[in-house]
Structure 1
């Protein structure tokens, strides 16, 4: 839904990108303002923790500032932002796993997750938690197709793989999610 709303503003994005590439800080600030919520939402769906999603969104904005000159405009800005955001989320996850702060970090994350004021119901949150437990590519495919409403073709552009590969990741994710959700139901 949101991706469709952003797609209608491609011409304004193109103008802002051109100005930002030329060093116009106000144009860059406007780009960040226009897309920050989008970046945050993708990061949150991928990582599932508010504080981490905020860190990732800020990191993406910094990366965007450094990389905007290299954006050639061959695709949509939002496709490029998906890629930047998912890469930043992967980097963040790798860094977190290297830090080995297991018990303390788990408690902090559990508290921050409980503090998130989200309008979604418990079943939806449980499903997204299960999605976050999937292997990275399956998680990203589900996030892009079901969370962001992208077509398999557009998701394949973001993920840098064939459309059939996205379909395969979705298929495998559905099989795993059935097991994960059944396990969760058995616990409750």
Structure 2
């Protein structure tokens, strides 16, 4: 089990990543916050010995994906409105907000791959391992997501 100080440092370092992954799955700020708390609780209670910082990050990403799947199964399936959350984010440029909105319009399978690849910096093979899907599927989802993002940004945002 982690010491209190070690846990605090790890929680501060990885909380944003956990939240981004959870939000990309669930599209709800409050649900993502709940999952973030659950993941951090799992981290605090784990007896697992981590070999490195990247090992901790990968473990947290995997646990976050699994917690989101469990949470998703319990939810009544309804479309979440992301505009409330997007408006609260402090984007320096409108183009970032437009891009965020476009990413959040993607279906869940493409959205999570985009978040893990572009925001969290995971490689395709790492995403495949985290999501337990073939590498080719990850590549296909990324390609399709890029195409959808390009079309949305050209049509809706007039880039």
Residue deviations 1:60-94, cap 9 Å, x none? Answer: 2123345x236786981211211222333344455
Report how many residues are paired. 157
Q: In the alignment, which of 144, 160, 167 is matched to residue 132 of structure 2?
A: 160
**Conserved? CA contact 2:124–2:135, under 8 Å:** yes
Unaligned stretches of 5+ in structure 1?
A: 1-18
TM-score (norm 2): 0.73
Deviation at 1:170, TM superposition (A): 0.6
Q: Which has the larger radius of gyration?
A: 1
Q: Which residue does the alignment assign to 1:170?
A: 142
Which residues of 2 match residues 28-39 of structure 1 at below 5 A? 28-39=7-18
CA-based RMSD? 3.2
Q: Which residue does the alignment assign to 1:60?
A: 39
Cα distance in 1 for residues equivalent to 2:118 and 2:85? 25
Cα distance in 2 for residues equivalent to 1:99 and 1:71? 37
TM-score (norm 1): 0.64
Which residues of 2 match residues 81-100 of structure 1 at below 5 A? 81-96=60-75, 98=76
Q: In the alignment, which of 103, 123, 129 is matched to residue 95 of structure 2?
A: 123
Cα distance in 2 for residues equivalent to 1:73 and 1:118? 35
Cα distance in 1 for residues equivalent to 2:69 and 2:98? 21
Q: In the alignment, which of 13, 16, 22 is matched to residue 43 of structure 1?
A: 22
**Could you say what secondary structure the match of 1:119 adopts?**
coil
Q: Which residue does the alignment assign to 1:141?
A: 113
**Conserved? CA contact 1:141–1:169, under 8 Å:** yes
Q: Which residue does the alignment assign to 2:104?
A: 132
Q: Which moved more, 1:135-144 or 1:153-162?
A: 153-162
1:69 and 2:41 are equivalent in the alignment = no
Unaligned stretches of 5+ in structure 2?
A: none
**Conserved? CA contact 2:117–2:124, under 8 Å:** yes
**Conserved? CA contact 1:49–1:113, under 8 Å:** no
